[in-house]
Structure 1
Amino acid sequence: MIHHTGPLVSWRVGLCLLMALLSRVATADVMPLIKVSADRSHFELESSGDRFVVWGVNYDHDQTGRLLDEYWIDEWPKVVEDFGEIKQLGANCVRIHLQLGKFLHSPQEPNQAALAQLSKLVQLAETTGLYLDITGLACYHKQNIPDWLDQLSEQDRWKAQAVFWESVAKTCRHSPAVFCYDLMNEPILPGKKPTTEWLGGKLDGKFFVQRIALDLRGRERAEVAKAWVDQMVDAIRKHDQRHLVTVGVIPWVYVFGGGKPLFHSAAVGERLDFVAVHFYPKKGEVQNAITALRAYQIGKPLIVEEMFPLACSQDELAEFVDQSAEFVDGWVSFYWGATAADLHAKKDRTIADAITAKWLDRFRAMSIERTTTEQK
């Protein structure tokens, strides 16, 4: 986004806050809850029964790489402005990523200041008319991982993670703007040999992948995954019986060229309300990606919770969306705090900036096309 200085900033920020306050009266009370249809085939609005298709963005970090919960208190006007820009993109959902270390002072003590800010963000979502995909337990930045966390046993680590989810669910339980709770971004399990590292590979200074165990100890992989999922769902359901729960996973069926889902299998994911997978189609492999995506059709709504023209062209990604529309109930791309216009105007624009700007323009055009089609 373009940042201005001087009196204009105060005027613009004040106007944004005033508009948010006024619009909340008109929006918060009428924003319908999202639920799974009775036949479990799609999402629908609780109030009307109309079908709901997710069209959203991951709002995980800003242009400098800072995660949302690292600046959302000191730079709240920036967040307000970004939500307005996301709405203008035509999105109806925002996926946020919350770091465990920012929300727990200790294994048993939640950070009340962080929870208060989360409540404030939920209110902003209500006023903006955007649903939230709340992804938790993030350990993306090592500097925000408390020393005590990695010293815990598997059992105690799970207990701390459950405290996180109890606190978040208690904070968000009453808001219709919450679309879902995503238990963890891309959880994985160890192989046959034990490991000492909870986090997976590093990407751009962040650790997006996290293990839920270091040692199988003779247990089956599905057994461990189910026990963890059930414990996290139990924590949420102590306070929130209404909002949907899922786990966003790496599509190993696509990565390996075959196989079956684990976390969203009948043996593990019985208590998960829908399937969320992260797809980055490769150049020339749209059909392979579609075939792999179909493996996640298990009788529940299915969304592509991450997508971006990272390894394919923008035309191919748009084709992937079009071809999967027959059986997919939503797609979530990315927004990193800068509009396409901002990126186009940058004097030191990089290739990545140019690709992102072009994709944001395409994403908005696809939003308009979707809206026009739905209205016919």
Structure 2
Amino acid sequence: MRTSALLMLALVVGSDASAADLDRIRVADDQSGFVFTESGKPFRPWGFNYDHDRDGRLLEEYWQDQWTEVESDFAEMKKLGANVVRIHLQVEAFLNSPTEPNQASLDRLAQLLKLAERTGLYLDITGLGCYHKQDVPAWFNELAEQQRWQAQAVFWSAVAKTCAASPAVFCYDLMNEPVVPGGARKNRDWLGPGFGGKHFVQFITLDPAGRKRPEIAKQWVKTLVQAIREQDKTHMITVGLVPWSLDRPGLTSGFDPNVIADDLDFIAMHIYPESQKVDEAMETLAGFAAVGKPVVIEEIFPLKCNMDDFAEFIERSKQHASGWIGFYWGATRDELQEEKTISAAITRQWLEFFQKNSADMKR
């Protein structure tokens, strides 16, 4: 089956297999969405988070020794109709120390860019992941706030330098779901609660120390954006926000999109609609859209609702969203059919929905 996927790659991208054929993406002048830089034609992201494989392994855990798996997965995502793939890069793979990037990982990232160019897929490059808590370097956990920010800037400077020349970069996403805590974290744990064996939420400080939380977020964003812009002045920059980032009563992340938006090219938000609560999900989405910049729903999946409610939300979200990115974990629809589990059935339904609606969603 993997061999078939690789053959499909050649068929799918044989006519557009060079970087010269890819047109860079930018925000439209009227902030209504995205356009191809040269042609000016609209571009609507419709793609996948490629955050781990079917066994839960992170990309850096198999992309050195099992590169053909990555090629096969990119071929399958292209076949399903994707135009964007969101990858998640880990701190431990890309930093040897607070000041020294890992060249082997940067070289493999450069190879991934070439694969994306050949396949005709744009990359949403999300960084600073610490998803497997046990693998996070001890030195990184021991850094004070400003030292940690500077190490994160080293990460982004190295990644942006590697990626700057490639037209296959859709955007840089500074971090997946960063949070400013409401008070001092006495346990000195930089990571939020685990989910499915991974830690997707990360704190950018351990102690606000009397500072306004949105202002801390704004300064952190500005620090990392500056590091990227010193190496890459053109590709778009965003940050992946939890749905409770809006300045509303109750739980908030401190990353108020209205405060941090000035330093970002567009807003990336994550939302998982719940059954019979589509109106609530739409209200949340509208809150992010009110910022006045394009909104990409960077994470979405029928995790908490049936496919009817999910399809309703996708359709209604077109009035606010300029792109949608779901999930692909390395298993094809045929392989999922053989698993005979509830999770496999849900994922298979999602992939069928994705492919069926690909042409319309990208148009």
Q: Give the Cα–Cα distance (whole angstroms) in 2 for the partners of residues 83 and 241 of structure 1.
A: 27
Q: Give the Cα–Cα distance (whole angstroms) in 2 for the partners of residues 319 and 110 of structure 1.
A: 44
Question: Offset at 1:365?
Answer: 0.6
Partner of 2:126, secondary structure, is strand
Partner of 1:57, secondary structure, is strand
Q: Give the Cα–Cα distance (whole angstroms) in 1 for the partners of residues 284 and 192 of structure 2.
A: 23
Q: Give the Cα–Cα distance (whole angstroms) in 2 for the partners of residues 285 and 254 of structure 1.
A: 18
| 2:202 pairs with 1:210 | yes
Aligned to 2:183: 192
Q: Structure 1 pair 319/120, CA: closer, same or farther in 2 (3 Å)?
A: same
Question: Offset at 1:147?
Answer: 1.2
Give 1:64's aligned amino acid.
D
Question: Offset at 1:95?
Answer: 0.3
Q: Give the Cα–Cα distance (whole angstroms) in 1 for the partners of residues 346 and 247 of structure 2.
A: 24
Partner of 2:257, secondary structure, is coil
Aligned to 1:265: 257
5 Å-filtered alignment, 1:50-61, equals 50-61=41-52
Q: Give the Cα–Cα distance (whole angstroms) in 2 for the partners of residues 16 and 295 of structure 1.
A: 41
Question: 1:272-329, CA deviations, whole angstroms, 9 ceiling, x for partnerless residues?
Answer: 0000000101110001110111001111110100001011111111111100112210
Partner of 1:58, secondary structure, is strand
**Contact 1:257–1:292 (CA<8 Å) still a contact in 2?**
no
| 2:317 pairs with 1:333 | no
Question: Offset at 1:192?
Answer: 2.6
Residue 213 of structure 2, aligned match among 197, 207, 221: 221
Question: Offset at 1:345?
Answer: 2.5
Residue 126 of structure 1, aligned match among 98, 117, 133: 117
Give 1:306's aligned amino acid.
E
Q: Structure 1 pair 78/50, CA: closer, same or farther in 2 (3 Å)?
A: same
Partner of 1:283, secondary structure, is coil
Q: Give the Cα–Cα distance (whole angstroms) in 1 for the partners of residues 245 and 175 of structure 2.
A: 19
Partner of 1:295, secondary structure, is helix
Q: Give the Cα–Cα distance (whole angstroms) in 1 for the partners of residues 206 and 194 of structure 2.
A: 18
5 Å-filtered alignment, 1:343-362, equals 343-346=336-339, 349-362=340-353
Aligned to 1:174: 165
5 Å-filtered alignment, 1:1-376, equals 2=1, 19=10, 23=14, 26-195=17-186, 196-252=188-244, 262-263=254-255, 265-297=257-289, 298-346=291-339, 349-370=340-361, 374=363
Question: Offset at 1:143?
Answer: 2.8
- What 5-or-longer segments of structure 2 have no aligned partner? none
How many residues are treated as equivalent by the alignment?
361
Question: Offset at 1:25?
Answer: 7.0
Partner of 2:261, secondary structure, is coil
Question: Offset at 1:217?
Answer: 1.1
Give 2:45's aligned amino acid.
V
**Contact 1:194–1:216 (CA<8 Å) still a contact in 2?**
no
Q: Give the Cα–Cα distance (whole angstroms) in 2 for the partners of residues 140 and 235 of structure 1.
A: 23
Question: Offset at 1:341?
Answer: 1.4
**Contact 2:179–2:254 (CA<8 Å) still a contact in 1?**
no
Question: Offset at 1:37?
Answer: 1.2
**Contact 1:253–1:292 (CA<8 Å) still a contact in 2?**
no
Q: How many percent of aligned residue pairs carry the same amino acid? A: 50
**Contact 1:31–1:126 (CA<8 Å) still a contact in 2?**
yes
Q: Structure 1 pair 104/166, CA: closer, same or farther in 2 (3 Å)?
A: same
Q: Structure 1 pair 51/262, CA: closer, same or farther in 2 (3 Å)?
A: farther
**Contact 2:179–2:255 (CA<8 Å) still a contact in 1?**
no
Q: Give the Cα–Cα distance (whole angstroms) in 2 for the partners of residues 155 and 265 of structure 1.
A: 22
Question: Offset at 1:244?
Answer: 0.3
Q: Give the Cα–Cα distance (whole angstroms) in 2 for the partners of residues 257 and 223 of structure 1.
A: 18
Q: Structure 1 pair 43/258, CA: closer, same or farther in 2 (3 Å)?
A: farther
**Contact 1:262–1:268 (CA<8 Å) still a contact in 2?**
no
The alignment's TM-score, normalised by the length of structure 1, stands at 0.91
**Contact 2:178–2:253 (CA<8 Å) still a contact in 1?**
no
Give 1:315's aligned amino acid.
D
Aligned to 1:6: none
**Contact 2:140–2:148 (CA<8 Å) still a contact in 1?**
yes
**Contact 1:165–1:235 (CA<8 Å) still a contact in 2?**
yes
Question: Offset at 1:262?
Answer: 4.9
Question: 1:142-165, CA deviations, whole angstroms, 9 ceiling, x for partnerless residues?
Answer: 232111001111111111000000
Partner of 1:182, secondary structure, is strand
Q: Structure 1 pair 233/102, CA: closer, same or farther in 2 (3 Å)?
A: same
Q: Give the Cα–Cα distance (whole angstroms) in 1 for the partners of residues 6 and 349 of structure 2.
A: 31
Partner of 2:125, secondary structure, is strand
Q: Structure 1 pair 65/256, CA: closer, same or farther in 2 (3 Å)?
A: farther
- What 5-or-longer segments of structure 1 have no aligned partner? 4-8
